[in-house]
Chains A and B, each alone.
Chain A
Amino acid sequence: MTASPLLQVQGLQVAYGPTPIVHGVSFTLGREKLAVVGESGSGKTTVGRALLKLLPRQARIGAERLQFDGMDLLQAGERDMAALRGRRLSMIMQDPKYSLNPVMSIGRQIAEAVQRAAKLSHAECNERVETLLARVHIRDPKRVAAQYPHEVSGGMGQRVMIAMMLAQRPQLLIADEPTSALDVSVRQEVLHLLDELVAEQGLALLFISHDLNLVRHFCDRVLVMYAGRVVETLAAADLPRAEHPYTRGLMAALPSLRQRRAVLPVLQRDAAWSAA
């Protein structure tokens, strides 16, 4: 590979006041599906939000390097970031119920994103909204466009979020637990759709999740975070052979249909994991 990766992160630190909550996280991301896994409080969401600079004002972000497509995100001001967000770097959140505007029809919300990308006439815009809804496998785009968020299911809502994100052809998508609020059958559909977009549009995907089993099958590589640090980076398929005791502990604690145990092994935390 001659081209440098789309996203390069080196020594990313995020601190509120004197205490850092993300300590020197480094990774690169190309056209692939990279997972960030860890338990609540491990800092995985903070890393995702730091890339978009969507953290509260009192958060201080530092890094040796934070480069997106040749651009230095550390130096980028609020105006530069606003131009990047949505257009080239996009994010979808866990629960569509909270990310969609409840008093605006779905069609109008997607139209806002469409109008941000290009000035179109009313008819052209409507047509584009319907194309986008069809793109995320919604069967009756016209009807859904006229509906409000409370009238659609969770899986449908998440597809609407993805349609909105697609209105502006981003290069990098940060998906923060995009399927955690969804039922298993619907989850497969949404994952399948994300997979398709990565393959067809060359989207880079940063997939934030707590679900090790899901990540093992869905992603290419995995970063395992513990207490604000990356403790292990490995190929997703290698998760069952992970080396770090934390990763191994998490894998072992999962109840499984194939391997039944009377007592589940409980994770024994080691102070050294958060000191390294």
Chain B
Amino acid sequence: MTVMLSVNDLRLAFGEGAESRTVLHGVGFDVARGQAFGLVGESGSGKTTVLRCLAGQYRHWQGDVRIAGDVYRGARSLAHARRAQMVFQDPYGSLHPRHTVRTALAEPLHVHGLDRVDERIDEVLQQVGLPLHFRFRYPHQISGGQRQRVAIARALILRPQLLLLDEPTSALDVSVQAEVLNLLADLRQKHGLTYLLVSHDLGVVAHLCDRLAVMQQGRIVETLSTDALCEGGAQHAYTQALVAAAEA
């Protein structure tokens, strides 16, 4: 088992001197290649902040992060973009309203100087289960679930190994959520992708992930396997409360 993502003692603070506020207090976890790992917690627990550090959106953190064995220091580079991509919660907000699907999907290809643009777009649209003629549509001409598929396609087009998923289904209806969750599970299996999934919904995390960590106030309080979670093996009181709320 090779480790795809290893995070050790990740710390992040905002502000200076007396005003300084620490939001991540030494977070650490490992994700094996091809595994899906979930980060669960309530708003303000720091779960999205961890993703943002890994995506290069926050760069002043401290700690030891390794992606596929290479040390990552927080820079945003082409090489990093080819390795790790992020999918955001709200597909309305993450797609440019005046760019067609084709323009949105072609942009990373142009940035990276890749050839066969239309061929690659066809391929990725097929992967996410969208008809090829959708390339001519604007975000407002497709449904929320289809828009999230476009966002996933945009993340996949550079063929990254690691996907950072920030609440990818919480803006969707349950029936559409089921479709997107099935798609994500399918893509992971077909392409051997590694997922780091952030969600407040324990059901979603349990469905998609093999292991998960529960966060509270910038710390990981418990890391366990999904099997243990579903068999009532949660040790920490906070995890147990989340399980009780999810089953209620």
Does B206 sit within 8 A of A, measured CB to CB? yes
A188 to B247, CA, bound (A): 13
**Which residues of B sit under 8 angstroms from A255, Cβ to Cβ?**
177-178, 181, 201, 203-204, 206-207
Contact with B along A201-240 (1 / 0, CB 8 A): 0000000001011100100000000000000000000000
Does A263 sit within 8 A of B, measured CB to CB? yes
**Which residues of B sit under 8 angstroms from A254, Cβ to Cβ?**
174, 178, 203
Q: A210-B174, A255-B201 are in contact. List 20 more A-B contacts (CB 8 A).
A: A187-B245, A212-B174, A214-B248, A250-B174, A253-B174, A254-B174, A255-B178, A255-B204, A255-B206, A255-B207, A256-B203, A257-B202, A257-B229, A257-B246, A257-B247, A260-B207, A261-B207, A263-B182, A264-B178, A264-B182
A214 to B206, CA, bound (A): 18
**Which residues of A sit under 8 angstroms from B123, Cβ to Cβ?**
none
Does B43 sit within 8 A of A, measured CB to CB? yes
CB-based contact A266/B178 at 8 Å: yes
A177 to B200, CA, bound (A): 17
Does A265 sit within 8 A of B, measured CB to CB? yes
Which of A188, A253, A257 sits near B177, CB closer than 8 Å?
A253
Most buried by B among A184, A185, A260, A263: A184
CB-based contact A184/B181 at 8 Å: no
A249 to B42, CA, bound (A): 28
* Interface footprint category on A: 20 to 34
Which of B43, B175, B230, B245 sits near A260, CB closer than 8 Å?
B230
**Which residues of A sit under 8 angstroms from B221, Cβ to Cβ?**
none
A262 to B207, CA, bound (A): 8
**Which residues of B sit under 8 angstroms from A187, Cβ to Cβ?**
245
How would you classify the secondary structure of chain A's contact residues: helix, strand, loop or mixed? loop
Does B107 sit within 8 A of A, measured CB to CB? no
Which of A253, A260, A263, A266 sits near B206, CB closer than 8 Å?
A260
Count of chain B residues with Cβ under 8 Å from any Cβ of A?
Answer: 29
A265 to B175, CA, bound (A): 9
Contact with B along A34-75 (1 / 0, CB 8 A): 000001100000000000000000000000000000000000
**Sampled A-B contacts (25; CB under 8 Å):** A39-B174, A39-B176, A183-B42, A184-B245, A185-B42, A185-B245, A188-B245, A210-B174, A212-B174, A213-B248, A250-B174, A253-B174, A254-B174, A255-B181, A255-B201, A255-B203, A255-B204, A256-B203, A257-B246, A260-B207, A261-B207, A264-B178, A264-B207, A265-B178, A266-B175
A267 to B181, CA, bound (A): 13
Does B241 sit within 8 A of A, measured CB to CB? yes
Interface residues in B202-238 by Cβ distance below 8 A to A read 202-204, 206-207, 229-230
Does A139 sit within 8 A of B, measured CB to CB? no
How would you classify the secondary structure of chain B's contact residues: helix, strand, loop or mixed? helix
Closest to A211 in B: B174
Number of A-B pairs, beta carbon distance below 8 Å: 75
Does B242 sit within 8 A of A, measured CB to CB? yes
Does B185 sit within 8 A of A, measured CB to CB? yes
Closest to A264 in B: B178
**Which residues of A sit under 8 angstroms from B43, Cβ to Cβ?**
154, 183
Interface residues in B1-50 by Cβ distance below 8 A to A read 42-43
Give me the 5 closest cross-chain CB pairs, A-B, nearest first: A255-B207, A267-B175, A253-B178, A183-B42, A264-B178
Interface residues in B54-70 by Cβ distance below 8 A to A read none
Does A258 sit within 8 A of B, measured CB to CB? yes
A39 to B173, CA, bound (A): 6
**Which residues of B sit under 8 angstroms from A154, Cβ to Cβ?**
43
A212 to B185, CA, bound (A): 24
Does B118 sit within 8 A of A, measured CB to CB? no
Closest to B242 in A: A184
B221 to chain A, nearest CB (A): 14
